[in-house]
Amino acid sequence: MKQITKYVIKNSLKRIFLYRACLVRLKLMGVEKVFSYTLANETGVTSEQVRKDFSEFSIKGNKRGGYEINDLLGKMEDIFHRNKDHNIVLIGMGNMGLALSKYSKFVQRNMNIVATFDIDPFKQKERSGIPVYSMSRLKEIIERFKVKVAILAVPEISAQEVADELMRHGIKGIVNFAPVLLKVPPDVVINNVNLCDELESVIYYVHKQLKIDGFKNLELLYRDMKY
Amino acid sequence: MKQITKYVIKNSLKRIFLYRACLVRLKLMGVEKVFSYTLANETGVTSEQVRKDFSEFSIKGNKRGGYEINDLLGKMEDIFHRNKDHNIVLIGMGNMGLALSKYSKFVQRNMNIVATFDIDPFKQKERSGIPVYSMSRLKEIIERFKVKVAILAVPEISAQEVADELMRHGIKGIVNFAPVLLKVPPDVVINNVNLCDELESVIYYVHKQLKIDGFKNLELLYRDMKY
DNA sequence: GAATTGTTGTGAAACAAATCACAAAATACG
DNA sequence: CGTATTTTGTGATTTGTTTCACAACAATTC
């Protein structure tokens, strides 16, 4: 049965990403150990929050000794299955798809776009080191590379149709850039990225901010902005 | 005072965006009135949630009569200040910047990228109908077009520096695509969009899902029945 | 090796968000 | 016109998340 799965990334997971980015930076700087308040300061959360988050993912430190950065990063690799490579397919080689196919940070994190697809024959040529295939080869490629996750960057009109096809071939997770709510069975994970909404919400908060700026209503200000 | 402002868009605001998208679609289909449960079904939330959200933004319906779509959309226009145009600048014309500069949906929602900027002289030519300037003209353009919001698509190494410059010229809100936490004073709104994290969190949940797939546990069954 | 210090880990408390339950209002219908 | 029906709007309740407070423990000092 298909339904709208409003899929929300847990805040604790988002924070774990923050901590990791911070740890990577600290490691590059030669630091070997951190305390919860170090991470807290660097990421703008409280130290209890850091420890609670770690506890949720069963990460333990040493009383008084804090956390070994290498140890922490290792645990996080496990949590995120980063020890192995992840093969991704990207559908839709429009502006956004093209940019995503060239985005080097995916590879740096072991997420490899193994192939991209587009219905437009003009776009079916290699443009960023990654082949661009016609949709007819989707099944073949997904099976060959055991792909479970796809990036969907097609026009909204065809998003549902393409998503259905992806799922027929075994895709279990989609990062969806089309501004539509995909209907999927409950075992499929959808993460919607809506660029307009991201921009518009900033505009919304800026206006709100400007409005209250005169009176310095700190309480309101701080409720809307979390650290 | 500068600090890390981890700025979180409220869920209720995100849902309002959902409702609006849905209303626009319904309107195109010729529908004139909706009930809270119509919107709820279409967006995968509960009808109480829809009404609570509306109540937060002081949107009122008619008992028994539901909501007039035109009326709702009008109210939302007000909430999001969509009656007037919003001028945006975009900094960084790499892959992502270029794609964003061509993203037509911004314009459809009255958000106009009036100019883009890059330090690279090779990129300083018009590539998508929008001029690409050198950074030296930032102040001039921001003032001329009364820009308050910027999109930051520069490499992470220069993100903070560019953000500082933007703020010096009066920018109050930033959609930041660089994977760094910007340090900003509390009156500046930052919305971080981290594409790697978005993809990686899907991978995380897909793995988790696959692990529990064998059991088909109650939680999932419950979700099946819910909608 | 006892006392002191600094940090983790986590129950308890406070706070925030979502759901429930139902009164109030608008409409329809006999 | 009065009764039944439908849907909103919201106080009460439940559920979820963050912060607080402090015991437990490891390292350090005397």
Q: What is the pLDDT of residues A17-71, one digit of tens each?
A: 999 999 999 999 999 999 999 999 999 999 999 999 999 999 999 999 999 999 9
Could you tell me the distance in Å between the CA of residue A53 and the C1' of nucleotide C7?
16
Which of A20, A200, A211 to mutate against chain B (most B CBs within 10 Å)?
A200
What share of chain A in percent tops pLDDT 90?
A: 78
Instruction: Write down the pLDDT at residue A7.
Output: 59
| SS3 annotation, A58-72 | CCCCECCCEEEHHHH
Contacts of B80 in chain A (CB under 8 A): 200, 203-204
Instruction: Write down the pLDDT at residue B47.
Output: 97
- Cross-chain residue pair A226–B7, CB shorter than 8 Å: yes
What confidence tens digit (pLDDT) does each residue in A67-83 have? 999 999 999 998 888 87
Q: Are B33 and B67 in contact (CB under 8 A)?
A: yes
What confidence tens digit (pLDDT) does each residue in A116-143 have? 999 998 888 877 789 999 999 999 999 9
For residue B95, give both structure tokens: 């892959």
What confidence tens digit (pLDDT) does each residue in B105-152 have? 999 999 999 999 999 998 888 777 899 999 999 999 999 999 999 999
Distance, CA of A98 to CA of A90 (rounded, Å): 9
What share of chain A in percent tops pLDDT 70?
A: 90
Q: Return the ∠ at Cα A222 (arms to B82 and B111), rounded to 5°.
A: 20
Given pLDDT bands bounded at 50, 70 and 90, which one contains residue A5?
Answer: low
For residue A44, give both structure tokens: 């703008």
- Cross-chain residue pair A201–B9, CB shorter than 8 Å: yes
A160 or B223: which leads in pLDDT: A160
Residues B54, B57, B60, B63, CA torsion sign: positive
Close Cβ partners of A207 (under 8 Å, ≥ 6 residues apart): B81
Distance, CA of B177 to CA of A13 (rounded, Å): 19
Distance, CA of A191 to CA of B89 (rounded, Å): 27
Instruction: Provide, for chain B, the percentages of residues in helix, strand and coil under a 3-state DSSP scheme, each rounded to the nearest 5.
Output: 50, 15, 35
Instruction: Write down the pLDDT at residue A77.
Output: 92
The Cα-based distances of A140 to A91, A144, A169, B139 in angstroms read 14, 6, 9, 52
Amino acid at B131: P
Neighbours of B30 (CB within 10 A): 7
Distance, CA of A159 to CA of A194 (rounded, Å): 13
The Cα-based distances of A167 to A138, A163, A197, B61 in angstroms read 11, 6, 26, 39
Could you tell me the distance in Å between the CA of residue A64 and the C1' of nucleotide D23?
14
Instruction: Write down the pLDDT at residue B158.
Output: 97
What domains does chain B contain, in order, with CATH numbers? 11-79 (1.10.10.10), 84-193 (3.40.50.720), 197-226 (no CATH)
Give the one of B18, B180, B202 whose C-beta lies nearest to A149's C-beta.
B202
A96/chain B closest Cα distance in angstroms = 5
H-type alpha helices, A62-155: 69-79, 95-101, 104-108, 138-144
- Cross-chain residue pair A17–B194, CB shorter than 8 Å: yes
For residue A91, give both structure tokens: 């559908």
Instruction: Write down the pLDDT at residue A212.
Output: 61
- Cross-chain residue pair B14–A88, CB shorter than 8 Å: no
| Residue bearing tokens 């993100």 | B159
Closest CA to B44 of A1, A179, A160, A183: A183
Contacts of B43 in chain A (CB under 8 A): 4, 6, 181
The Cα-based distances of A79 to A56, A57, A166 in angstroms read 11, 8, 26
Given pLDDT bands bounded at 50, 70 and 90, which one contains residue A225?
Answer: very low
Mean pLDDT of chain A: 89
A85 or B4: which leads in pLDDT: A85
Q: Which residues of chain B, if any, have pLDDT below 70?
A: 1, 5-8, 212-227
Quick check: A222 pLDDT over 90? no
Number of helices (H), then strands (E), belonging to chain A: the values are: 10, 10
| Residue bearing tokens 């981890």 | B6
Instruction: Write down the pLDDT at residue B79.
Output: 87
Query: What count of CB pairs under 8 Å joins A to B?
Result: 206
